[in-house]
Homo-oligomer: A and B are copies of this chain.
Amino acid sequence: MRITLIGSGNVATHLGAAFRNAGHQLVQVYSRNAQHAALLAYHIKAEPISSLNAISPETDLFVIAVKDDAIAEIAEQLAVYDKLIVHTSGATSLSVLELFTDKAGVFYPLQTFSKNKSIDFNTVPICIEGTDEQSTKQLIELAWTVSQNVYRVDSEKRKILHLAAVFACNFPNYLYQAAGAILAENQLDFNLLRPLIAETAAKVQEQLPEQVQTGPAIRNDINTMQAHLQLLEQHPDLKQVYSLLSQLIIKMNNSTDAGA
């Protein structure tokens, strides 16, 4: 497929590489920032452009991977070319492309992408939605070329997924950071926690989190929890996090017991 990328951020970068690896032709990369466009375009052998006036009509698909609030306006400007057009946002409804009654959709890769960290795209769940059956089918076929996990997900469910992803990714990463801050303050190295973090995530690859919870809260070990809260005396924010999450672990466990 001939693909034009609109955007040069983390999603555009990783998606561009995945399309390229799958043998698709990346026609152009657009970014307002010419340097960003040039850098990504170089990696995926596309033409960099920094003005939408320079868009080539010789493409099959526009992939809009920009900030959520910029999607609608860019889509509007691309409508004239009458090509298949998708956005990649988990939080944004298909209806943002309301201009299009067909030939439009969503291509949402459910993963956390960072610069300087390559990814096995093959395992990334791709959530597809189309304005019409033909577009949906085309997008699903495209998705299969880059991943083994392709799902059809409508806008409502995609919002739920995006919310769940915040709990599964952004919040845990914040807690890793909090743990690292606690260690650093005591001249302890973050390396000490890395195997624990890896294993915590590895455990839920086969089992469910409720089957593998450990720690003082699930044991209702009040002495340890009180000692931890004392250690956090100088960190009211983290103390609040500790209290809230411990309470909820205890509560969830009790309600599970009651149901079992």
Contacts and interface: CB of A to CB of B under 8 A. Distances in A.
Interface of A: 10, 68-69, 91, 110-114, 116-117, 119, 123-125, 127, 149, 151, 153, 157, 159-180, 182-183, 186, 188, 190-218, 221, 223-224, 227-228, 231-232, 237-238, 240-242, 244-245, 248-249, 251-252
Taking chain A's interface residues, is the majority helix, strand, or loop, or is none over half, making it mixed?
Answer: helix
A240 B247 CA distance: 12
B177 A164 contact: no
A170 B91 contact: no
17 contacts: A111-B199, A112-B214, A125-B191, A163-B182, A163-B228, A163-B232, A164-B192, A167-B238, A167-B242, A168-B179, A172-B175, A172-B197, A173-B203, A173-B213, A174-B248, A194-B204, A198-B202
A245 B174 CA distance: 8
How many subunits of this chain does the assembly comprise?
2
Contacts of A151: 192
B213 A170 contact: yes
Given A114-B203, A177-B213, A207-B117, A228 B172 contact: no
Nearest to A178: B167
